[in-house]
Amino acid sequence: MPDYRITEAAAVLGLSDDTLRRWVDAGRVASHRDADDRVRIAGTDLADLARSMAETGPPGLSDGRRAASVSARNRMRGVVTRVVHDSVMAQVEMVCGPYRVVSLMSSEAALELGLSPGVIAVASVKSTNVVVELP
């Protein structure tokens, strides 16, 4: 399972490094230290935090009116929060800053990309199609 430095995780969530460090210190998000004594956040914990922020986060992150008034096209870096597979298709949910993005793709493609909660990926949006790729 991937894990991320504070700087990487903060960028994906649209937060400052300092804010995320305060949240780690306050216990809002779990962390651990790597072999070099750097603070890291597990991908699954990052996905949980992103999902929580999208559902009940600070003003602007859960306000659907804001998402509707901002162009959310092109490429958005975010964290995968959920992947549901069946025999043919996969539903991949991501949180990219204040946006929740859902992509339908073949299960084979999702498996080849290694998509699972906590993986950082890029959602490329064009009209009604959302293409997910690794950064």
Token output for 101 = 């993005």
What pLDDT sits at residue 82?
96
The answer on pLDDT for 69 being more than 60 is no
Q: What b/e sequence results for 4-42 when a residue is b if at least 16 CB atoms lie within 10 Å of its CB, and e otherwise?
A: bebebbbbbbbbeeeebbebbeeeebebeeeeeeebbbb
What pLDDT sits at residue 73?
53
Per residue in 8-64, pLDDT (tens digit) is: 999 988 888 999 999 999 998 999 999 999 999 999 999 999 888 877 655 444 444
What pLDDT sits at residue 10?
92
Bridge partner list, 92: 83, 103
Helical H segments across 84-132, by residue range: 107-113
The answer on pLDDT for 74 being more than 90 is no
**Closest to 122 measured CA to CA, from 91, 79, 89:** 79
The answer on pLDDT for 1 being more than 50 is yes
Per the CB < 8 A criterion, the answer to whether 31 and 20 are in contact is no
Chain mean pLDDT for the chain: 84
Q: Higher confidence at residue 55 or residue 100?
A: 100
